[in-house]
Structure formats: structure tokens, C-alpha cells
């Protein structure tokens, strides 16, 4: 990596880390260009050299908060899983981490045609976050539309005989709208978003996704019980570590 790109990555990371610290300690409203720049040890003009505006910075912060999602996929996705099982697990892990950071992750859905590009830009600057992922996951994470991201894995389900090709777009849209609605409700609610509340929302989301996919399965195909039991075990362990 040349020195210019290395400096860009290092400086952007300073700003993202500063924004994250402010978010954790003072809340979303306190993330301003001035506050972030001051905490990172730069001036506002320097920050604008790397980020278009506050929304650009917030989108990068939101994507950085999903790093744990990719780490979980490395743990829970196995070669033995079929495409339907993989899709269920991907939906679960994404919701799990997004719901934990609902207020900041909602920014990724406020102006989707704009923020999706920031999402992709993040992985252009920090490709190491996805370089160890499987090809289908990398393709999904860098697709230029949230609905297309769902289609990447659903198309695999068509190839394996779970769904009909004509239903792919409908499934992808329903999954996207369900996730966005769940995220928005949690982010804008007055309820305290503690770990248990986020986990309960993830469990409910798992059920929504199961119902959507079940409705579109080809005749004679059933939802895999192994992955349902696996998700239940994950949720139980995370909700009750003891």
C-alpha cells in the first residue's frame, strides 16, 4: 500500500474512532464535525478532506459498527450449510449487530441511494474487513442496492431448489422492508435499547424472516429444523450467558 492510501486510511480511522467515542459517551446528537475533529486532533477543514459531510461520516461509523457481524459470520457459517440455512444465519447476524446500534445504523437507510455508496466506499478504504469472507458474502456486502444484496443469496436458493425464480424479487423486497421497519421502530422508540431488548427484537425478526421464506418455499420443501434450532441456541446463549 502506498503512503498516500495508508495516510488516508489512518486519518479516516482517527475520525471514525473519535465519532464512535462521542457516540458511546455523549450520544448521537453530539457527533458534530467540530467535536469529532477536535477529539481526533485535527481541524474541521481536514475532516472535510476525507468526508463529504456529517452524514458521510455517520455512515462510515455505522458500517464500522457492523464489523462484529462479519466476525460472527466467520463463526456461524459452515461449509455444510445449504443456501437457505446461510441466508437465515446472515439475516440473523446482521439484525443482531444492527439492532445493538440501531440509532446509528438507521442512517444507512435514511437516503439509501446515497448511503449505499458510502457503504461500498467503506470497504474500498478498509477492504481487510471483508477480504477473508466467502465470495457470495463479499458480493453481497458490495452490491449497490440493499434489495440486490438480498437477491445474491436468494438466487442461490433458486439454484438449490428452495424458491422459484419469479419470486426472488418479492422475497428480497419483503426482507429489506421488514428489516428496515424493525430497525426504524427500535431506533425511534423510547424503550431502552439494552442488550436484552435488542436480543428480543432479533428473535422477533428471525420469526418474521422464517415466515416470509416459508411462504415462498417451493411445494414440498420445508424449513430446515437444524438452523432453527441453531438460531434458538445462539439467542439463548447470548441472552443468558450463564
Query: Got the DSSP string for 40-95?
Result: HTS-HHHHHTT-SSHHHHHHHHHHHTTHHHHHHHHHH--TT--HHHHHHHHHHHHH
H helix count then E strand count, the chain = 13, 0
pLDDT by 10-residue block (mean), the chain, 242 residues: 84 96 92 96 95 92 90 89 91 92 88 78 87 86 85 93 96 95 89 77 91 93 69 56 44
Do the beta carbons of residue 100 and residue 198 sit within 8 Å? Answer: yes
Cα 38 to Cα 43: distance, rounded to the nearest angstrom: 6
Place of cell 436480543: 199
Report the candidate in 24, 89, 15 with the shortest Cα–Cα distance to residue 56.
15
pLDDT for res 242: 41
Phi, psi of 58 (to 5 degrees): -65, -35
Q: Alpha carbon of 186 to those of 3, 25, 198: distances in Å? A: 42, 20, 8
Question: If DSSP codes are grouped into helix, strand and coil, which group holds residue 142?
Answer: coil
pLDDT for res 200: 86
- Match domain 3-51 to its CATH number in 1.10.1200.10, 1.10.10.10, 1.10.10.60, 3.40.50.1100: 1.10.10.60
Start and end residues for every CATH 1.10.10.60 domain found in the chain: 3-51
Cα 232 to Cα 88: distance, rounded to the nearest angstrom: 12
What predicted TM-score, i.e. pTM, was given to this entire model? 0.85
Q: Alpha carbon of 53 to those of 45, 115, 118, 125: distances in Å? A: 11, 12, 11, 17
Phi, psi of 153 (to 5 degrees): -85, -30
Amino acid at each position: 500500500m502506498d503512503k498516500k492510501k495508508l495516510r488516508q486510511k489512518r486519518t479516516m480511522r482517527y475520525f471514525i474512532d473519535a465519532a464512535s467515542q462521542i457516540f458511546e459517551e455523549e450520544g448521537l446528537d453530539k457527533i458534530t464535525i467540530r467535536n469529532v475533529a477536535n477529539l481526533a486532533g485535527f481541524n474541521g477543514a481536514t475532516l472535510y478532506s476525507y468526508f463529504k459531510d456529517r452524514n458521510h461520516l455517520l455512515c462510515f461509523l455505522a458500517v464500522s459498527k457492523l464489523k462484529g457481524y462479519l466476525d460472527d459470520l466467520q463463526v456461524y457459517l459452515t461449509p455444510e450449510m445449504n443456501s437457505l440455512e446461510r441466508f437465515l444465519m446472515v439475516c440473523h447476524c446482521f439484525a443482531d449487530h444492527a439492532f445493538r446500534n440501531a440509532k446509528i445504523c438507521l442512517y444507512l437507510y435514511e437516503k439509501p441511494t446515497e448511503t449505499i455508496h458510502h457503504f461500498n466506499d467503506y470497504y474500498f478504504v478498509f477492504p481487510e474487513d471483508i477480504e477473508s469472507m466467502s465470495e457470495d458474502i463479499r458480493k453481497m456486502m458490495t452490491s449497490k442496492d440493499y434489495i440486490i444484496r438480498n437477491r445474491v443469496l436468494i438466487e442461490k436458493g433458486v439454484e438449490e431448489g428452495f424458491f422459484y425464480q419469479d419470486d426472488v424479487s418479492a422475497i428480497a423486497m419483503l426482507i429489506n422492508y421488514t428489516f428496515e421497519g424493525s430497525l426504524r421502530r427500535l431506533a425511534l422508540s423510547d424503550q431502552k435499547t439494552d442488550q436484552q431488548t435488542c436480543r428480543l427484537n432479533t428473535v422477533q425478526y428471525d420469526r418474521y424472516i422464517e415466515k416470509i421464506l416459508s411462504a415462498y418455499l417451493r411445494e414440498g420443501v420445508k424449513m430446515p429444523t437444524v438452523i432453527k434450532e441453531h438460531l434458538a441456541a445462539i439467542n439463548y446463549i447470548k441472552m443468558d450467558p450463564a
